[in-house]
Amino acid sequence: MTDVDFDFLRAYLKTRSGLALTAEKRYLIESRLSPICRRFNLAGLPQLVSALRGGRDLVMEKAVVEAMTTNETFFFRDRTPFDLFKDVLLPEAIARRAAQRKLRIWCAAASTGQEPYSLAMLLQEAAPKLAGWNIDLVATDLSTEVLEKAKAGLYSHFEVQRGLPVQLLVKNFEQIGEQWRISQTLRSMVDFRPLNLLHPFETLGTFDIIYCRNVLIYFDAPTKGDVLGRLSASLSPDGALLLGAAETVIGLTDKLAPSAQHRGLYNQAAATARNTMGASAPAPLRRVVGL
């Protein structure tokens, strides 16, 4: 692959997915797009670039973007954001939304579904406290391929071993041959939708809790700032945004600020307090599918 072809692919992927690839990531393009060449009977990456320049095959274009943006995930990844949901965010939501009895949660860049299903399991554990509530758990991803896998809720033995406590596996999954399928009850709790974070998402409405973890790290600073600003606009005034451990809003937007109590948690309330009195405020929540 020539430098010209590499630069074209970098610009192509940046425009369509926000993915910002550095020069040392050249190997990633070669490893992930070689199978796409074989799939479309192309001799190699130069021929793929030529086809993309022509802009004639939407299926191929979609396959290229999805091949480069499919990222690793697993159940209860990094554990802390889920403990925070169970021990802090959900109890606060129950207290603050007791009158409305509504809660809305969004998992952005949900990949093959382990993150939203992890939250669904925690919501199910809290079902006695949420009787009669309207819980809206929305999960989105750029890739329709991974969303189809997520909707099916079918995982390999390796996938269910990663991060999933054995008691939750036994309780919520059925073994089918060499694979495990998550229960219909949990599948029905998650509303999977295709969404590119570079595109407007106002139509999704307002959320009380947004998980947007381990995706901003692939964007450049201007793109991060743009996405964070729009995520802020999608939060309820007392809403909570959770980012990945290597992600932050600092230096990117003044519409959100970190919680003083919990790492990885950001909210508008803290931003407002910081701007007006130089202090931080805690985080919290609001609406989806029945339990």
> Domain extents for the chain?
3-69, 80-277
Question: For residue 198, which amino acid is it?
Answer: L
Task: Give me the pLDDT at residue 274, please.
Answer: 47
pLDDT tens by residue, 69-98? 767 789 999 999 999 999 999 999 999 999
Task: Give me the pLDDT at residue 276, please.
Answer: 42
DSSP notation for 60-91:
HHHHHHHHHH-----TTTTSHHHHHIIIIIHH
State the Cα–Cα distance between residues 272 and 256, nearest whole angstrom: 8
Q: Decide if 177 contacts 92 (C-beta within 8 A).
A: no
Whether 46 has a pLDDT exceeding 60, the answer reads: yes
Whether 141 has a pLDDT exceeding 90, the answer reads: yes
Whether 152 has a pLDDT exceeding 90, the answer reads: yes
pLDDT tens by residue, 220-229? 999 999 999 9
Whether 24 has a pLDDT exceeding 90, the answer reads: no
Whether 278 has a pLDDT exceeding 50, the answer reads: no
Q: Decide if 142 contacts 194 (C-beta within 8 A).
A: yes
More confident residue, 56 or 181: 181
CATH 3.20.20.70 is right for the domain spanning 80-277: no
Task: Give me the pLDDT at residue 287, please.
Answer: 35
> What secondary structure letter does DSSP report for 284?
-
Which class does domain 3-69 fall in? Answer: mainly alpha
